[in-house]
Amino acid sequence: MNNTHALTTTGFEIPGYRVTRSYGVVRGIIVRSRSVVGNLGASIQSLFGGNISIYTELCEQARGEAFQLMLAHAGQLGANAVLGVRYDATELAPGITEVLCYGTAVAVVESAG
């Protein structure tokens, strides 16, 4: 899965481009749960301290999927860029987390000069 997009930024402008149309807020939402096996592995890793790679991988996957869903939403509207990209996460229940990726979908063209 490709987690980057050339015309996506956390900023509100893209150097060398100008916004010609705004399509509004777009989002990608994914809800993930931890498996019993994953929790067991993470518990073992936590005994030794440091990075708990099982959870890191889970978080990266969830963010990547939410990002791709946001890009798809923008594409459905006709946008070719997303500005002000942000992430948010909410624990819905113990072990179940929603990851939200959102931004403003826009159409951009290269600036002259």
Q: 104: closest CA among 87, 88, 73, 83?
A: 83
pLDDT tens digits for range 59-91: 889 999 999 999 999 999 999 999 999 999 988
Global pTM reads 0.80
Lowest mean pLDDT among 13-17, 61-65, 71-75, 95-99: 95-99
* DSSP H or E stretch at residue 15: none
CB 103 within 8 A of CB 83: yes
Average pLDDT over residues 29-42: 67
Give the chain's domains with CATH numbers.
17-110 (3.30.110.70)
